Amino acid sequence: MTARTLSTLGIAVLLALGTGGCSKFKKKDAGAATGDYDFVSGSPLPERSGASFFAGNVDRSMFQPVYFGYDSYAVEPGERSKLDPIASFLRGGGKSIILAGFTDERGTPEYNRALGERRAQAVREELISMGAGAADIQTVSFGEEMPADAGGDESAHAKNRRVEIGVIK
């Protein structure tokens, strides 16, 4: 084969691969599910009110934080009792809260952000199972950001693995 034949053949192969590969990429459906779906309960998440956990209209001192074990998002029985007054408060109607999930510093920022969200969602699902309205509960995750205790020992880590509850005024 001559150099010209090889060049022509190479260009033909590249064109065939280039045009054939385009049909495999599909546009994203505009109506496709986004991050606004609660895969735990199988229902759409409520509309967010836009409340920021650290805004002046959020009271973060009304309820105790819920603490978690290392690398866990299971609400332990000892911590579940902290949810009774929160559920009762929400069943009173006309009130809403925002749950902020936090982790200790171990793990990647992405992993910790996801774990913090799973913790907030776990508390949300517990509250819903106790009769609180799903539309009254927002969640947010800060992962390892904003630790409650900046120390590097296990005692500090335990304080940082938490969900804080903010009451939206």
pLDDT in tens, the chain (169 residues): 576 766 666 676 656 655 555 444 444 343 333 344 444 455 554 444 445 887 888 999 999 999 999 999 999 999 999 999 999 999 998 899 999 999 999 999 999 999 999 999 999 999 999 999 999 999 999 999 999 999 999 999 999 999 999 999 8
What kind of fold does domain 58-168 have according to CATH?
A: 60s Ribosomal Protein L30; Chain: A; (3.30.1330)
Residue 145 CB partners (closer than 8 Å, separation 6+): 102
pLDDT at residue number 94: 86
What's residue 32's pLDDT? Answer: 38
Between helices 83-91 and 109-129, what is the axis angle to 10°? Answer: 60
What pTM did the predictor assign? 0.70
Query: Beta strand 43-44 with 96-102: parallel, antiparallel or unpaired?
Result: unpaired
Q: What pLDDT is recorded for position 57?
A: 86
